[in-house]
Amino acid sequence: MSAPNPSLQKKFSRDKQVKLRRPIVENALVGMLVVLTCVHAVHFVVPHAVLRQIMTEQVLVRSELVSSALTIIIAIAIYVLMSARVKAHKMLHDELRDRQNIDLVSGAASRGHFLDGLKQAVAAHRKGGSVALIIIDIDHLKQINDALGHGAGDDVLGFCARIARQAFPGGRIGRLGGDELAVFIASKEPIPEGYVADACAQYLATLREGLFIANRRQAVSASLGVALAPVHSDNVNELLSFADLALQQAKTNGRGACSIFSPDILADARQERFIERELRAAILLGQLAVHYQPIMDADGEIDSLEALVRWQNPVRGVISPAEFIPVAEKSQLIHELGLYVLKRVCEDAETLPDVPVNVNISAWQLAHDAFLRDYVSVLKDMNVSPSRVVLEITESAMLDTSDDFVDRMAAIKSAGFRIALDDFGMGYSEFNQLRKLPFDIIKIDKSYIQNIGTDIVTDTFVSAVTQIAGKMDRTVVAEGIETEDDKVRASIAGCGLFQGYYHQAPASRDKIVALYKAKALADVA
């Protein structure tokens, strides 16, 4: 983040003009005091009889009185000036302390200051009362930064912190990280979960009303995780961990929601760790299978294949990709998993139909510096051309359109790969992605395909996508084709390729090869 909160910036700049070196006036006063001190010293050094010869007794007395009065006045003036200097130093010290304790962008407490306060609150309420900890993760703040600039992201952060003060009265607000805020509420009485849930719901509702950025209303959403002390734990580290687990569940459930920690969440976390450990072993031991699903053209010919990973665990049996893929992405095993699938596709390439094979990748992989190098290296080692592989990116991964991301995709295209955008329309769709990102293929999500003809919004959306694709020379694939009717309606809507159980369910390499040979023989006959 860049620009500080204006009100805090004004507060912290109030003493910038204070001069820490001695002002001229103070130096002059000190000089005068030195002179007067010397005059007084003369009275003690020079005999009184000599002074009476120089001046009359009356003048001598008056000079002593005047010099004494001036000495007192100058001493008082110096005291006042020194007090002002001490005050200026104290204000500067307070400013430096505040800079350490307050995040200038959001106006919330800094991470260290917030956590210190949380520790004190939990310790004070171990034997009575309670503390509610709420972690707030602002959804898609990076995309706001990329699209509207970091100043807009700063505004959103400040907005989220201000709304938190309203929704959680008496709570202390802190900033834990780039897009993460936190609140703790301490009470002498037990805090009901219902109270916290209602406050969180109010917070989320107010966020959705949004704020104006550059004369345009920007809706904001966040995911919230809640843990209570001492109900869930009276250890601060555990409390933070439990709130974070609840936050992850809120994200998993679709974001823009609140989740309160429960033992079930901890069990799910342990299950995730089990899956991560077993998946790592499965990749190492080659226990994952790759199945293929054909993508067909309007004449029923195979246009391409999509490679889909399958896992038969020796202990738990079949584990769904919907269960282990998110774990792989979260644990960053997804790159190793992607390389595993690519190697299997390369091994199968000689026996598969001579068509491109779509390999799924995640947005995290694209952001990985070694991604392109490793994928090109696998193809080179196994003597497979990049033109044989289509990299399929799930649209729900919230692809951004930043210059860096566009450059990465351009590099992938330059290496010889084609790129497909999967699940378009899942909820994060931006037509700006179609304009800025160099996709070759757009796969419309099955939730739209199966509702063509029943909903005007669906019809308009699919029609717009196919028209844009046609103008930009891109191919459109209709996903989720399960019946002849689905295919006909998708074809009328402008889709040129079709994928789904109507044509073929995902199957092993051997079955796909057998089906392909059987069809080839039937065509010859």
| Residue 15 per-residue DSSP state | T
CATH number at residue 311: 3.20.20.450
Neighbouring residues of 203: CB distance < 8 A, sequence distance ≥ 6: 136, 163, 164, 167, 168, 222, 224
pLDDT of residue 76: 78
Per-residue confidence band for 33, with pLDDT thresholds at 50, 70 and 90: low
**Among candidates 413, 463, 406, which has minimal Cα distance to 432?**
406
% of the chain surpassing 90 pLDDT: 50
Same domain, 192 and 248: yes
Same domain, 354 and 231: no
Question: Which of 59, 75, 101 is the C-terminal boundary of a domain?
Answer: 101
Same domain, 96 and 45: yes
Same domain, 398 and 509: yes
Rounded distance, CA 489 to CA 495, Å?
9
Domain containing 10 equals: 6-101
Judge whether 174 lies within some domain.
Answer: yes
Per-residue confidence band for 226, with pLDDT thresholds at 50, 70 and 90: very high
Question: Which of 79, 101, 123 is the C-terminal boundary of a domain?
Answer: 101
Choice between 227 and 72, residue whose per-residue pLDDT is larger: 227
Alpha helices in 134-262 (DSSP H): 141-148, 150-167, 193-209, 236-252
Choice between 271 and 507, residue whose per-residue pLDDT is larger: 507
Angle at 167 between CA 173 and CA 261, to 5 degrees: 75
Angle at 420 between CA 419 and CA 421, to 5 degrees: 125
Judge whether 354 lies within some domain.
Answer: yes
Residue pLDDT, tens place only, 331-381: 889 999 999 999 999 999 999 999 999 999 987 788 788 899 999 999 999
Neighbouring residues of 501: CB distance < 8 A, sequence distance ≥ 6: 481, 482
Judge whether 340 lies within some domain.
Answer: yes
Exposed e or buried b for every residue in 24-48, given b needs 16+ CB within 10 A?
Answer: eebeebeebbeebeebeeeeeeeee
Rounded distance, CA 113 to CA 288, Å?
47
Q: Is 290 helix (H, G, I), strand (E, B) or coil?
A: strand
* CB contact at 8 A, 337 and 290: no
Query: Cα 426 to the chain's mean position, in Å?
Result: 20
Query: Cα 276 to the chain's mean position, in Å?
Result: 23
Same domain, 83 and 218: no
pLDDT of residue 39: 62
% of the chain surpassing 70 pLDDT: 81
Domain count, the chain: 3
Choice between 495 and 35, residue whose per-residue pLDDT is larger: 495
pLDDT of residue 357: 97
Per-residue confidence band for 199, with pLDDT thresholds at 50, 70 and 90: very high
Neighbouring residues of 149: CB distance < 8 A, sequence distance ≥ 6: none
Same domain, 244 and 353: no
Rounded distance, CA 154 to CA 104, Å?
10
Question: Which of 77, 101, 125 is the C-terminal boundary of a domain?
Answer: 101
Strand-strand pairing, 130-138 and 222-229: antiparallel
pLDDT of residue 12: 45
Residue 19 in this model has a pLDDT that exceeds 70: no
Same domain, 490 and 514: yes
Per-residue confidence band for 98, with pLDDT thresholds at 50, 70 and 90: low
Same domain, 86 and 122: no
Rounded distance, CA 439 to CA 393, Å?
10
Judge whether 61 lies within some domain.
Answer: yes
Exposed e or buried b for every residue in 380-409, given b needs 16+ CB within 10 A?
Answer: eeeebebebbbbbbbbbbbbbbeeebeebb
Same domain, 434 and 502: yes
Judge whether 368 lies within some domain.
Answer: yes
With 0-12 / 13-18 / 19 or more C-beta atoms within 10 angstroms meaning exposed / middle / buried, residue 242 is: buried
Q: Is 70 helix (H, G, I), strand (E, B) or coil?
A: helix
Q: Is 220 helix (H, G, I), strand (E, B) or coil?
A: coil
Judge whether 513 lies within some domain.
Answer: yes
Same domain, 166 and 243: yes
Judge whether 351 lies within some domain.
Answer: yes
Same domain, 248 and 384: no
Rounded distance, CA 494 to CA 81, Å?
83
Same domain, 303 and 244: no
CATH number at residue 195: 3.30.70.270
Residue 233 in this model has a pLDDT that exceeds 70: yes
Choice between 399 and 507, residue whose per-residue pLDDT is larger: 507
Rounded distance, CA 454 to CA 446, Å?
14
Judge whether 329 lies within some domain.
Answer: no
> Against a cut of 0.85, is the pTM above it?
no
Helix (H) or strand (E) holding 293: strand 288-297
Neighbouring residues of 26: CB distance < 8 A, sequence distance ≥ 6: 78, 81
Long-range contacts of 259-266 (CB under 8 A, 24+ apart): 259/223, 259/224, 259/225, 259/226, 260/193, 260/196, 260/197, 260/226, 260/227, 260/228, 261/225, 261/226, 261/227, 261/228, 261/232, 266/242
